[in-house]
Structure 1
Amino acid sequence: MKSLLLTMVLLVPVLLTGCSSTPLGPYGYTDQFLERLEADGQVAVQPDDDTLSRFIDFYNPLDHQRIAEGIDQIYASDVYFNDTLVIVRNRETLQKHLLATAERLSYMSLEPLNVVRDGQQVYLVWVMEAHFSLLGRERLSRTIGISQLRFNRDGQVFFHQDFWDSSQGLDQHLPVLGPMTRWLRDH
């Protein structure tokens, strides 16, 4: 406990100094989202139930085989994908990201809780469960989130924006950042 307190006392001034030098913005995240949402150049359509089920199945579980066999059917070649950890703009880069993610995880699944269809968009509310090893210990991360999806006429996702709290899902498990994240959340 004393080492945690000492770490926080030493680290907080460094973090606050870093925050004081942060530019006012814009940071690009919001601008990229709005730009792609408004000027994607593709016609969005509501997917049928089979197409949406195929998307959900792609992530259950997320593994090398599903990615390799299914990504061309699930995602358009010119996809905008933001899972709050990375932004990619094409299927090839997305495939590399998903394969690297699957490599780092022991297991990951997505449990759909609700689907909201709104005009040209689908909002999928989910619980994500990820098992991974960190410093030789198996960890479990369960978090809730929402995916904003837009599908093209071929039933492929060309816009995928995830909204979830990475501090609840992943950051809390990191050696230095985790205790601070949990402390901030509790206070």
Structure 2
Amino acid sequence: MNSNKIEHFVSVYQNLNKDNLALLKDIYHHDVVFIDPMHKVDGIKDLEQYFSHLYSNVQSITFNIDESIEIADKGFLYWTMIYCHPYLNGGKPINVTGHSRLTFKNGLVIFHQDYVDTNAMIFEYIPVIGRLIKHLKKRASK
């Protein structure tokens, strides 16, 4: 880690859980825009609701930070997410790699975009859809 902004962000993020989502205000600007492959969230209140919903639907979730880069007001995180969801993969851990692009304003994240393969994160673990995706991947690699 190469900056206090990134270090602080990662430290808070790795300690988040359903009981301490108020900590989001310590790392996100009130006008934050948060984008992942399935959602776009505007503002800290909506982000808190999004995280509340996320944490209520998983049994556990952790992020291992593999690498971080900071250049001026931009930050880039490369991570592995490990989560357990009661309806995916029989509740067993799922590992997914991804990365995040952050923009800071006054030391807080005002823009956060996650890049992650949603097939590897969700769809491959839904019984019928997962088999279809695996079949298509196998055919495409021939």
TM-score using structure 2 length: 0.87
Q: Does 1:109 align with 2:62?
A: yes
Name which of structure 1's ranges 121-130 and 177-186 shifts more when overlaid on structure 2.
Answer: 177-186
C-alpha distance after superposition, 1:128-167 (max 9, x if no partner): 11111117931321111110001111x2110000111010
- Cα distance in 2, alignment partners of residues 103 and 174 from structure 1: 19
- Cα distance in 1, alignment partners of residues 26 and 6 from structure 2: 12
Report the Cα offset of residue 62 of structure 1.
Answer: 3.7
Matched residue type, 1:169: M
Matched residue type, 1:63: N
- Cα distance in 2, alignment partners of residues 133 and 89 from structure 1: 28
Matches within 5 A, 1:58-137: 58-68=12-22, 70-134=23-87, 137=90
Q: Does 1:171 align with 2:97?
A: no
Superposition RMSD in Å: 1.9
The structure with the largest alpha-carbon Rg is: 1
The share of aligned pairs that are identical, in percent, is 22
- Cα distance in 2, alignment partners of residues 61 and 172 from structure 1: 28
- Cα distance in 1, alignment partners of residues 45 and 20 from structure 2: 15
User: Is the 1:60–1:108 Cα contact (8 Å) retained in structure 2?
Assistant: no
C-alpha distance after superposition, 1:3-45 (max 9, x if no partner): xxxxxxxxxxxxxxxxxxxxxxxxxxxxxxxxxxxxxxxxxxx
Stretches of 4+ moved more than 3 A in 1? none
Aligned counterpart, 2:6: 52
Change (3 A) 1:136 1:179: closer
Aligned counterpart, 1:45: none
Stretches of structure 1 that go unaligned for 5 or more consecutive residues are 1-47
Stretches of structure 2 that go unaligned for 5 or more consecutive residues are none
